[in-house]
Amino acid sequence: MSQQEQPWQPGPNDLPFTTHLINPHGDRHLGFDEDEGLYYRLWQYKAPERLHTGEAIFLRPSDINQIISYAMIWVRNNPEDPRGYELIDEIAAGAKAIVMHFAQAPVQR
């Protein structure tokens, strides 16, 4: 996830999933595969990159509410799918990691 990205705004043909989080700054776009319950980072010139849900949270911490909401709706709508348990664990790990990251950040004065 350390690759430098040129800002771009995806058009309708660039969005392979039905659920997206498009960053107005033109980078770090996310897609959520509603069939599989997986997050992907969207790139301008390469295939979507599958992400652990915790990576999606870390990539877009300001959208943690939407990331969790989409995932929990998926879990609710797919109660028999074992992916639901993985998704819940990924959310918990990602939320913990982002809280720990910001808790350890130096205070700006």
7, two tokens: 């800002």
Every domain of the chain and the residues it spans: 17-103
* CA atoms of 86 and 98, how far apart (whole Å): 18
- pLDDT score for 75: 97
SS3 44: coil
| pTM for the full predicted model | 0.86
Question: What is the spatial distance between Cα 106 and Cα 102, in angstroms, rounded to a whole number?
Answer: 8
**pLDDT of residue 3 exceeding 80:** no
74 pLDDT above the threshold of 90: yes
Residue 95's identity, in one-letter code, is A
What digits encode the pLDDT tens for the residues 33-65?
999 999 999 988 889 999 999 999 999 999 999
Mean pLDDT of 76-88: 97
Per-residue model confidence as pLDDT tens digits over 12-31: 888 888 898 888 888 889 99
- Long-range contacts of the stretch 50-55 (C-beta < 8 A, 24+): 52/90, 52/93, 52/94, 53/87, 53/90, 53/91, 53/94, 54/90, 54/91, 54/93, 54/94, 54/95, 54/97, 55/1, 55/94
d(CA 52, CA 98) in angstroms, rounded, equals 13
Whether 101 has a pLDDT exceeding 70, the answer reads yes
Residue in the structure block whose two tokens are 């990159």: 49
Q: How confident is the model at residue 80 (pLDDT cuts 50, 70, 90)?
A: very high
